[in-house]
Amino acid sequence: MAVNKVYPDATAALQGVVRDGMTVALGGFGLCGIPESLILALRDSGATGLTCVSNNAGVDDWGLGLLLKTRQIRKMISSYVGENAEFERQFMSGELELEFTPQGTLAERMRAGGAGIAGFYTKTGVGTVVAEGKPHADFDGETFVLERGIRADLSLVHAWKADRAGNLVFRKTARNFNPMAATCGKVTVAEVEELVETGSIDPDQVHVPGIYVHRIVVGTPQKRIEQRTVTPG
């Protein structure tokens, strides 16, 4: 018998899987491709002491910035921390722990976690603060640093389309970190714009197989623009 993965709303989709102190991986880049309604539901859950794995933390009044405002995030594992004054204030005051990770390394850490790979060696970050305290090894005369794969308790992602089996399709640059985040979660919840019947998506067009996705909710995102740039009229 097929499992029903579709939930009526974001609050219901997070019911029973959110707890204090958990690690949450989130897709998105800036405000592009972020799971907007799931972030709001996570805020409203009241969970605290969270470690959030995300390229950045949104802006002050949207995305993960909302959880910073309510002091629900204890630690961020990120590669970019601009555009958010509250993030800066909490970090500089010692209220927020930050683990800086280069963007490519962050993507690979999530991908590795989803693939069951405990760690990998990379040249990125060698000789910088990023590599401090981490094991090093030489390969072919060059030095590499060991980075650990990331396995999250919960992953929240945004997709353009899904079928009822959880197969996901992302649209253009909104794909960004979403596929890697989707695979590294012990429980993955996908917020989608369109839900279709199983079998409607060409298998060659599936970006994340449904085996990684445990819950689905259909939402209508605001899709805010982080930095609006226009040509003078």
Nearest CA to 226 out of 90, 80, 122, 106 is that of 80
Specify if 138 maps to a domain: yes
Which residue range is the domain that position 50 belongs to?
6-155
Specify if 23 maps to a domain: yes
Domain total in the chain: 1
Specify if 214 maps to a domain: no
Specify if 17 maps to a domain: yes
Burial string for 132-163 (b: 16+ CB within 10 Å, else e) reads eeeeeeeeeeeebbebebbbbbbbbbbbbbbb
Specify if 177 maps to a domain: no
pTM for this predicted structure: 0.94
- Looking at residue 32, which CATH number applies to its domain? 3.40.1080.10
- Looking at residue 113, its pLDDT comes to 98
Specify if 212 maps to a domain: no
Specify if 30 maps to a domain: yes
Specify if 29 maps to a domain: yes
Q: Give the pLDDT of the chain (233 residues) as one tens digit per residue.
A: 678 999 999 999 999 999 999 999 999 999 999 999 999 999 999 999 999 999 999 999 999 999 999 999 999 999 998 778 999 999 999 999 999 999 999 999 999 999 999 999 999 999 999 999 999 999 999 999 999 999 999 999 999 999 999 999 999 999 999 999 999 999 999 999 999 999 999 999 999 999 999 999 998 888 777 777 888 87
